[in-house]
Amino acid sequence: MMFPLVRNALSSLKIQSIQQIRARQSHSKQSPDFHDKYGNILLAGGATFCLVAWVFTTTQIGIKWNLSPVGRVTPRAWNDE
């Protein structure tokens, strides 16, 4: 047999927890927002743009990338004077 004070305390705790659960559920998103709809598309588009920009930069603007001269450099003849 429970005491009335304990019984009232337990029932009020149960009511509060149920109210908290309902409040949490009511704050959840009901419909997808902008990021849910377009987030992945924008991320893929940005990554593609960045990749294309770097490929263009590395291939088209004429930077000499200081690659190894092995096989392209010929030694000069030695002059004894």
Two structure tokens written together for 1: 């047999």
CA distance 60 to 66: 16
CA distance 16 to 26: 15
Whole-number pLDDT of residue 51: 97
Whole-number pLDDT of residue 81: 58
- pLDDT string in tens for the chain (81-residue length): 556 766 666 666 666 676 677 766 666 667 788 888 899 999 999 999 999 999 998 888 877 766 777 777 777 787 765
Whole-number pLDDT of residue 8: 67
Whole-number pLDDT of residue 74: 75
CA distance 50 to 81: 58
Please state whether the predicted TM-score (pTM) of the whole model is above 0.75: no
Q: Which H or E element spans position 16? A: helix 4-26
CA distance 10 to 16: 10
